[in-house]
Structure 1
């Protein structure tokens, strides 16, 4: 809880979004979607995720193999098994869809209504363990990827042909989603 890393990431994302919003004409659909995304990101409850691998057998036999915690304040939450997949990003409002073992990322996107400003080639999948992966969704790069229950699918902004700003913003938002509670 004491680490400022997640809040620093949020501040960077908010600055990039604010710059992008200023370049849009007021009242346009893209301006509205970006403003909604800005508001959503500012409302997220963030904590820095710690990925600590513990081999329980080794830790039990040798105390030095138990990584333990350094001093600080921690929040440990054992979540119940999720039976849904969330979609955030360029879809207007966040949506939560029922998890289906046979559904791929593409199947979940068929149930949602992506905005015109959403990237048509890739999405980011943030698994419950914090792993982030970029998955192809276009006809030419479609990956047959089945997300885990509790995953978040981030529909990124469509990238500009002559600028890397939006791609950088998409990467930062996907990284920030790892720390969202």
Structure 2
């Protein structure tokens, strides 16, 4: 009986060890990635001493199978934009192609929308989830920029200014054909999104955080829901973007 019990214990231990998560950590600042094995729970990961300088509001954890799905959806989005551009001409086609090029330059991942702050995870058992499978974690330092994307003339990385609102970031930015001039979308580092009124008649103070994306999408079209759906698909890709 003792031999059987010992064999069962060893089998169970081996199974648990095999099931525990493997995590590739990208700490930013051009540091090489780290490979962690047998990470059983989220707290075991986020309390690693090597991550003591991580800026957790902007950290992203992803799972391998979810990444494959996110990449597939992103490729479908790029194909849809190509199709729409081919149906347009002149400024409209140029604007769509510009947006497609911006989105083609980003990499997406199968982001898991969980709170990664170590203090939160430690004191809330429900947040200390089990890790099974293969994961990637991006946990770099706090960024000093935001990223402007969409139907704008000068997309790209811009300096983050504390207290500056979405409409202020867009004050001197020219929009392209078909752009929504009344609203923009803020994609916060934690993956949450907010529709920000930015026109003179409706503007409201919506502040960005460092590392946020400010996205100017297609204007809403009463008789063409395809473009409205594109905005949502783009936002999905942006919330799954791998941090810079």
- Give the structure-1-normalised TM-score: 0.86
1:124 partner SS = strand
RMSD of the alignment, in Å?
1.9
The more displaced of 42-51 and 119-128 is 42-51
Give the number of aligned pairs.
174
Tell me if structure 1 keeps the 8 A contact 2:187–2:194: yes
| 1:76 match | 137
Cα distance in structure 2, aligned partners of 1:40 and 1:85: 15
Higher helix fraction: Structure 1 or Structure 2? Answer: 2
Counterpart in the other structure of 2:129: 67
Counterpart in 1 of 2:40? Answer: none
1:101 paired to 2:162: yes
Distance 1:5 1:140, change over 3 A: farther
Return the offset for 1:150: 0.8
CA distance in 2, matches of 1:70, 1:6: 19
CA distance in 2 between counterparts of 1:162 and 1:36 reads 24
- TM-score normalized by the length of structure 2: 0.65
Bigger mean CA offset, 2-11 vs 140-149: 2-11
Structure 1 CA distance, aligned partners of 2:123 and 2:76?
41
Q: How big is the shift at 1:93?
A: 4.7
2:120 matched to 1:57?
Answer: no
Specify the alignment match of 2:203 in structure 1: 142
> Structure 1, unaligned stretches of length 5 or more?
none
Q: How far apart are 1:95 and its partner, in Å?
A: 2.2
Q: Which has the larger radius of gyration?
A: 2
Change in CA separation of 1:39 and 1:116 when aligned onto 2, cut-off 3 Å: closer
What is the CA-CA distance between 1:88 and the residue it aligns to?
A: 0.5
